[in-house]
Structure 1
Amino acid sequence: MNMDHSHENRLLLETVQAFMKAELTPHEAEVDRLGEVPLELGRQIERRAIAAGLYAANMPENVGGGGLSLETKVLMEREYGKTSHALHSWIGRPTELLLACEGDQIERYLLPCVRAEKRELFALTEPEAGSDVMGMKSNARRDGADWILNGSKHFISGPVMPDFAIVFAATGIDETKRGPRKRVTAFFVDVGMTGFTISEGTHCVSYRGYKTFQLHFDNVRLGPGQVLGEEGCGLEMSGKWLTYGRIFVGASCCGKAERLLGLAAEWAASRKQFGQAIGKFQGTGFKLADMATELRAADLLVEDAVRRANAGTLTDADISMVKLYCSEMVNRVADNTVQIYGGMGLMEELPVQRLWRDSRLERIWDGTSEIQRHIISRAILRPLGA
């Protein structure tokens, strides 16, 4: 990135880079071919990440995490973006929603995730409610002190079968200035509970080896201790997670674009046609110039978001600009890299085609490009009464 790194940040980056070189990058092609991370390999990454001090580095020190700042977490996610998502996801970064745990929930859910004893899923998306969160069908109704959960979720992603899911469900209707609005609550649902079934979902051509899960709830009885946070505060909680998640996606896209640009530049300098390196032809050289410029702009957007977040002035539109620009930037960089490589860019023996496939998902998950444009345009028009 463009910001000057402190001594501590440089040490962290060196640790992450050394870990990736030794533990992740050598397995990329195999994982892509197999379509999964072998369980033994995943557990090995997990153990060695703990030993290296990288596991749960995003969580505060007072719960046993690394206590990294937002800036440092962004730098770390940027580096992870250069390698397989399926592999680096084994270096657990538990969702910070778990910090809302209270009482017995701390020992039951929060601390086991920080210690790599348990894995969680963030379960929001449904077959008929992806970007339209208010369209969710999953619901929970009161039954005495308990809740009865029904519904389903899909495209819920994670590296391995989880121990529990943080499930968002409608628990009522609130009247607002814009009309009726579903009240959404977050629940802990443990794998193995009566009525809760979970299975691996469809396989994606992007990030092969990173699993998606389908969750179904048939009259699942949940006690009052399985409500995360307060009843009706689920959307606010998920919004905070998605806020920083989209900044991390932007940073990850920048890391991936940097790797692609490096591959493209090396190929353009070494591949010769008509007696000279292809990078000397404007058709190729100008692509490299555009790729480098767009990467710089994307990095600056991420850095600006970090500064705004630290100053307490970050808006939804700011976050959407990061997600929108960075995800579309890495797609352009990936496509140009394939074009520079020509036919070799699509050959399975080289990493370019894998990075190209992986880049495509960035414009979809954590909010599509269309949703980001909607958020940005809404922020422009609402103050004008439109």
Structure 2
Amino acid sequence: MDFRLTDEQRLIYNTAREFCEKELIPHEVLLENSGELPRELEFEIRHKAIAVGLHACNMPESVGGGGLDCVSLTLVEKGLTRASSALADCVHRPNKILAACEGDQISHFLQPVMRGEKRECIAMTEPDAGSDLKGMKTRADRDGPDWVINGTKHFITNAQRSQFVIVFAVTGKDETPTGTRKRISCFLVDLDTPGLDVGVGYHQLGHRGETNEILHFNNVRVGSWQMVGGEGEGFKVVTEWLGEGRLTVAAVCQARAERAFEVAVAYAAQRKQFGQPIGKFQGIGFPLADMAIDIRLGDMLLMNTAWRVDQKFPSVAQDCAMAKVWCSEMLGRVADQAIQTCGGMGLMADLPLERIYRDARGERIWEGTSEIQRLIISRELMRENGA
């Protein structure tokens, strides 16, 4: 099997990596010290990303995006997300749900996003229905030509920096042979719509500069033209989007693990005790070897999964779940050992390790917990064997 990247893929990765090193990482200290991402800095990074072709590189060419395949996009994610999430997110890769926009949705939502004038957030999680999407309670009821939305969504990343929300709501119920099934539909809603309140979210572990908000929908009226796809097709939209989202998390974890490892190896080679670099002592060298193995396995699993997505393998949901489990849990191990390698300095903000360590914990939770990923994998195994 040929694992070599093409010349174009190497260029794509190098462009993203260089952009990260030059335009993102230098601002990490500001972000960590203030806990806030200045709006003018966000716009500055966004315009620079547009200039080099990284903005909306994940979107199809048919809507003005970069049209990257999954392997190339994964390389972009690896290159950019070595930096803090809030900074990497300034290089906007819109939710691909927007590629399904039709009619007035194109001019009102899609095109401004593609021009960098607007950005979206996504509202799926609810206080009483986390990973259980079928337990969703937010409703959208038909009222003449419109829909009226009521309910609460939380953990909405960067809602305060967005202009509209992709929201999922129950629009009815169907009786099936296996019981009652909720019809879940997808809507695009401007965040300044009357009745929609963007509330302050929670104080979170890590990811400084990245906010989460609570959205309260109180008789929020939207037009039928704001529904993406047909009524009841929201669960299909969610399922298609979640796989790619999980692979993105895996790429983020892989990038951060590689950065933490590089810091640890450099420190172990330079720091001397008893007349020699500490990396030559087995107590330091062997854990570094284990980290190298973990990272190599993660990269192979990540890139193989991206390749399988491009090849349209039938079991990519299982593949993406495997990649997310391994890479997110591997990042936790590597970040922890990198700090141990650097000793007291690993705990200091002079190195990026303590930030990477803090940020790593959330990766095993969002986009589906490790337990949910294992459930997906085990169910597919049973399905393949007729159970």
**TM-fit CA distance, 1:314:** 4.1
- The residue type paired with residue 351 of structure 1 is P
SS in 1 for 2:161: coil
After superposition, where does 1:364-375 map in structure 2 within 5 Å?
Answer: 364-375=365-376
SS in 1 for 2:72: helix
SS in 2 for 1:239: helix
Query: What runs of 5+ residues in structure 1 fail to find an aligned partner?
Result: none
After superposition, where does 1:325-364 map in structure 2 within 5 Å?
Answer: 325-364=326-365
- 1:134/1:182 contact within 8 Å kept: yes
After superposition, give the CA deviation of every residue in 1:1-46 in whole Å (9 maximum; x if it has no partner): x932211122222222222122111001210121111111111101
- The residue type paired with residue 255 of structure 2 is G
Q: What is aligned with 2:54?
A: 54
After superposition, where does 1:75-224 map in structure 2 within 5 Å?
Answer: 75-158=75-158, 160-224=160-224
Q: What is aligned with 1:38?
A: 38
After superposition, give the CA deviation of every residue in 1:284-304 in whole Å (9 maximum; x if it has no partner): 111111111111111111122
* Bigger Cα displacement from structure 2, 171-180 vs 315-324: 171-180
After superposition, where does 1:255-334 map in structure 2 within 5 Å?
Answer: 255-315=255-315, 316-334=317-335
- 2:166/2:189 contact within 8 Å kept: yes
Distance 1:177 1:383 in 2: 23
**Identity between Structure 1 and Structure 2 (%):** 49
- 1:338/1:353 contact within 8 Å kept: yes
- 1:60/1:68 contact within 8 Å kept: yes
- 1:155/1:201 contact within 8 Å kept: yes
Distance 1:375 1:155 in 2: 23
Distance 1:97 1:276 in 2: 55
Q: What is aligned with 1:254?
A: 254
- 1:81/1:254 contact within 8 Å kept: no
- 1:170/1:183 contact within 8 Å kept: yes
- 1:89/1:159 contact within 8 Å kept: no
- 2:158/2:211 contact within 8 Å kept: yes
Distance 1:347 1:180 in 2: 54
**TM-fit CA distance, 1:161:** 2.1
Provide closer, same or farther for how the CA distance between residues 314 and 78 of structure 1 changes in structure 2, counting only shifts above 3 A: farther
Provide closer, same or farther for how the CA distance between residues 272 and 322 of structure 1 changes in structure 2, counting only shifts above 3 A: same
- The residue type paired with residue 327 of structure 1 is S
Query: What runs of 5+ residues in structure 2 fail to find an aligned partner?
Result: none
Distance 1:384 1:176 in 2: 25
- 2:199/2:214 contact within 8 Å kept: yes
Distance 1:249 1:176 in 2: 34
Q: CA RMSD in A?
A: 1.5
SS in 2 for 1:66: coil
Distance 1:48 1:151 in 2: 38
- The residue type paired with residue 376 of structure 1 is I
- 1:159/1:209 contact within 8 Å kept: no
Aligned pair count? 385
- 1:305/1:314 contact within 8 Å kept: no
- 1:86/1:159 contact within 8 Å kept: no
Distance 1:322 1:176 in 2: 34
- 1:90/1:159 contact within 8 Å kept: no
- The residue type paired with residue 222 of structure 2 is L
Distance 2:175 2:384 in 1: 23
Q: What is aligned with 1:13?
A: 13
SS in 1 for 2:189: strand
Note if 1:377 corresponds to 2:385: no
After superposition, give the CA deviation of every residue in 1:203-249 in whole Å (9 maximum; x if it has no partner): 32221101112111001111111111111010110111111111111
